């Protein structure tokens, strides 16, 4: 948005001085936290396949298997990341486009970690 410095109005003639810009940090924190949570699920899935001890530890419900521990911990990782990032970015003008690109990369890595073709490369023998 371009603003005329003399009048304080944007290209449509609206007064932008009356509309203070809100920091985008909280939005960026939520976007980034989603990527961190997805990455956490991918890492936990790969770790469970790589180590029988981790797989057994993540089996919090016998009917569900290790998926119960993986998903609960991934949600905890997401919530903690969201809280920490919100506090860190709440008053900043963090660019949401950059947060989205970073989150998409993290989500891509997390999804990769949940594919059997990938995590079976680390299977405990």
Are the beta carbons of 40 and 47 closer than 8 angstroms?
A: no
Q: Is 3 helix (H, G, I), strand (E, B) or coil?
A: strand
| In the predicted structure, residue 7 carries a pLDDT above the cut 60 | no
- The reported pLDDT for the residue numbered 18 is 55
Minimum mean pLDDT among 16-30, 54-68, 92-106, 109-123: which range? 16-30
* pLDDT above 70: percentage of residues in the chain: 82
Cβ-in-10-Å burial (0-12, 13-18, 19+) of 37 comes to buried
Element (H, E) at 125: none
Tokens in use for 42? 């991918």
Instruction: Tell me what the pLDDT averaged over the chain comes to.
Output: 86
What is the DSSP code string of 20-89? Answer: PPPPSHHHHHHHHHHHHHHHHHHHHHHHHHH-HHHHHHT--BTTTBTHHHHHHHHHHHHHHHHHHHHHHH
- Rounded CA-CA distance 14/26 in Å is 26
* pLDDT above 90: percentage of residues in the chain: 61
- The reported pLDDT for the residue numbered 113 is 92
| In the predicted structure, residue 49 carries a pLDDT above the cut 80 | yes
| In the predicted structure, residue 29 carries a pLDDT above the cut 80 | yes
| In the predicted structure, residue 10 carries a pLDDT above the cut 80 | no
pLDDT tens digits, one per residue of 69-109: 999 999 999 999 999 999 999 888 888 899 999 999 999 99
Minimum mean pLDDT among 36-50, 59-73, 111-125: which range? 111-125
- All residues at 6 or more sequence positions from 35 whose CB lies less than 8 Å from its CB, including other chains: 102, 103, 104, 105, 106, 107, 110
Q: What single DSSP character describes residue 91? A: T
């Amino acid at each position: 948005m371009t603003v005329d410095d003399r009048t304080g109005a944007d290209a449509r003639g609206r007064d932008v001085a009356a509309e203070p810009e809100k920091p985008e940090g909280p939005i960026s924190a939520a976007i980034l936290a989603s990527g961190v949570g997805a990455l956490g699920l991918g890492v936990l899935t790969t770790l469970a396949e790589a180590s029988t001890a981790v797989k057994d530890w993540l089996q919090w419900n016998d009917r569900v298997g290790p998926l119960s521990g993986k998903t609960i911990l991934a949600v905890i990782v997401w919530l903690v990341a969201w809280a920490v990032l919100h506090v860190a970015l709440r008053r900043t003008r963090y660019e949401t486009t950059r947060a989205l690109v970073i989150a998409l990369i993290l989500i891509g890595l997390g999804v990769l970690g949940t594919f059997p073709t990938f995590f079976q490369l680390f299977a405990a023998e």
